[in-house]
Amino acid sequence: MIVRPHQHWFRRLFVWHGSVLSKILFRLSLNLLMSAFAVICYQWYEALGVRLTTAPFSLLGVAIAIFLGFRNNASYARFTEARLLWGTLLITQRSLLRQIKSVFLHQPEQAKIFADLLTAFSWSLKHQLRQTDGNADLRRLVPAALAEEVQRSPDPTNRLLLCMGVWLGEQRQRGAVSDVIYEGMDRNLDQLARVLGGCERIANTPIPFAYSLILHRTVYLFCSLLPFALVEDLHYMTPLVSVFISYTFLSLESLAEELEHPFGMAANDLPLDAICNTIERNMREMNDQFPLPEKMLPDRHYTLT
């Protein structure tokens, strides 16, 4: 995610990092070449009686703009829901640890065990969504025997959630947790399960492929033929205007594709590493486990992963 301080409007015009321009620069170059070709060959295909006016492009451009708006709204809704789920994860884990500490006032080691499970759950969810190896974080946070058990599971994040439920059930059987407090904690564990399921739904259910494909094809066909419609009126200004119009459509389409997968590593995706780092710092601070892990900050390009 790009985390930039407020900038003057003029400086923002020339921002490179965080924009999608780097992704579509080659495609814009192709459009520029197509525009130059249209200018060079204009007299030749005009002599053949071939004419392409801007009228159909005006109608098609409005339709594409509407559908690109729908596409971006759908992608941004996924991004927003994903951020809300991770915000809920942070709030729920704080509440659970507070409940645990209020019960085990004189047994800080019990609160530490549960805090480590909560921290491992968030890191494991991050690795699951990004399809990366989470074994190092798992071994760092939980005992070796438990780490091996979780690693053998085909769904390690859900296994960690089960381990928290089993631990809480054992405390209830021992009489350390009353039924009323247990019900409150169990509801928070259910909330973690809903967060896990919601993240899996977003990660495993993309926007329907056919919808994205038809919009993708239409945008590229529009941008490819546009110079031949503009050249009659604009002549040598055709490359400039064509590239500018193509930039608008291609950048919106590229941004929609990027936001559709909010858990990735692209510049505008969610900073899951930073959120997990915040959760771990919170869990350790609530348990008075110092020193805390160093807080993650944006790099020199204002990117927070």
The answer, yes or no, to whether residue 161 has pLDDT greater than 80, is yes
The answer to whether residues 92 and 193 touch, using CB atoms and an 8 Å cutoff, is no
Place of tokens 């053998």: 152
pLDDT of residue 233: 86
Place of tokens 């407020």: 6
pLDDT digits (tens, 9 = 90+) for 48-107: 666 778 888 888 889 999 999 999 999 999 999 999 999 999 999 999 999 999 999 888
The answer, yes or no, to whether residue 122 has pLDDT greater than 80, is yes
Radius of gyration of the chain from Cα atoms? 27
> If you write DSSP's letter for every residue of 215-248 in order, what string do you get?
HHHHHHHHHHHHHHHHHHHHGGGHHHHHHHHHHH
Helix axes 179-204, 55-103, angle to 10 degrees: 160
Q: Is 106 helix (H, G, I), strand (E, B) or coil?
A: coil
The residue-averaged pLDDT of 116-130 equals 97
Residue with the bigger pLDDT between 116 and 21: it is: 116
pLDDT digits (tens, 9 = 90+) for 218-271: 999 999 999 988 998 888 899 999 999 999 999 999 999 999 999 999 989 999
pLDDT digits (tens, 9 = 90+) for 282-303: 999 999 999 999 999 888 877 8
Nearest by Cα to 233 from 31, 51, 44, 48: 51
The answer, yes or no, to whether residue 46 has pLDDT greater than 80, is no
The residue-averaged pLDDT of 137-151 equals 95
As a whole number, the mean pLDDT across the chain is: 92
Which runs of consecutive H residues, i.e. helices, occur in the chain?
Answer: 9-12, 21-40, 42-47, 55-103, 108-130, 135-141, 144-152, 156-173, 179-204, 209-234, 238-260, 272-286
The answer, yes or no, to whether residue 275 has pLDDT greater than 90, is yes
Integer Cα distance of 116 and 6 in angstroms: 37
Place of tokens 């350790």: 284
- Going from the C-alpha of 269 to that of each of 198, 214, 256, 286, the distances in angstroms are 17, 24, 11, 29
Nearest by Cα to 205 from 303, 293, 19, 75: 75
- Going from N- to C-terminal start, the domains of the chain cover 19-51+208-260, 74-206+270-287
With a pLDDT cut of 70, the percent of the chain lying above it is 98
pLDDT of residue 79: 96
The residue-averaged pLDDT of 131-137 equals 95
Nearest by Cα to 94 from 289, 304, 287, 299: 287
